[in-house]
């Protein structure tokens, strides 16, 4: 390798290069030797050969940055339904791909993103970010467990830790079964949604009405 460096590189594609090409093991050795012993050089895989070039730190940094941006973009596009969970938790939606909302329902082709779509999305984003929504369900403990494991991360070892982490994301959680059975005094209280709905239907409630205003009428 030192002789090679002193004599200068042979042009890639020259007849002096091994016509049979390098084996996978030989390529591995070249990559490894250059990486360990010649930090000022880089190796670029070619068909049947390895190109050795001087290290251009600015170029390599730009390549790494471009690859990371491409990988991050693919990750954002694969998030899918988790964006709904992010919105419910009041998290940022800045990296969501607007093309998701501008596809033709018939062909699936991406349509141009109009200014109206972009402004409405930005307004929706501003209303959601930092404002986690109340989560309301019935007998929902296992639902919350599955939701956390699927969209948030690994479940904590202790229930208390799970509750603490869950409330960090969703400060307000309402379980209608718990509301219906907590301190009710019955040994076997009604707890199904159908039973609760029938009971609530029989409960008399005051009639509530609101005045409708005409937007075209200007008050005196």
Hey, where are the domains in the chain?
2-55, 59-128, 135-196
pLDDT at position 5: 47
pLDDT at position 18: 55
For 2, list phi and psi in degrees, rounded to 5: -65, -40
CB 68 within 8 A of CB 76: no
pLDDT at position 60: 82
Give this prediction's pTM.
0.53
pLDDT at position 155: 92
Q: C-alpha distances in angstroms, 87 versus 17, 23, 90, 125, 194?
A: 58, 51, 5, 8, 30
Q: Which segments in the chain show pLDDT lower than 50?
A: 3-9, 13
């Amino acid at each position: 390798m030192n002789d090679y460096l002193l004599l200068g590189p042979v042009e890639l594609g020259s007849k002096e290069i091994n016509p049979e090409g390098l084996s996978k093991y030989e390529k591995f050795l070249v990559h490894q030797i250059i990486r360990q012993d010649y930090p000022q050089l880089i190796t670029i895989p070619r068909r049947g050969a390895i190109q050795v070039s001087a290290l251009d730190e600015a170029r390599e940094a730009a390549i790494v940055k471009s690859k990371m941006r491409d990988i991050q973009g693919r990750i954002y596009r694969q998030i899918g339904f988790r964006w709904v969970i992010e919105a419910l938790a009041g998290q940022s939606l800045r990296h969501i791909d607007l093309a998701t909302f501008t596809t033709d329902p018939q062909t699936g082709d991406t349509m141009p993103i109009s200014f109206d779509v972009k402004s409405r999305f930005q307004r929706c984003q501003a209303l959601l970010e930092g404002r986690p929504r109340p989560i309301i369900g019935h007998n929902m403990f296992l639902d919350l467990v599955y939701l956390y494991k699927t969209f948030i991360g690994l479940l904590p070892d202790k229930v208390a830790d799970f509750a603490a982490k869950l409330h960090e994301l969703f400060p307000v959680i309402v379980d209608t079964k718990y509301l219906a059975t907590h301190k009710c005094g019955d040994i076997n209280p009604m707890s199904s949604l159908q039973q609760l709905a029938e009971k609530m239907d029989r409960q008399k409630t005051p009639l509530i009405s609101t005045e409708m205003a005409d937007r075209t009428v200007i008050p005196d």
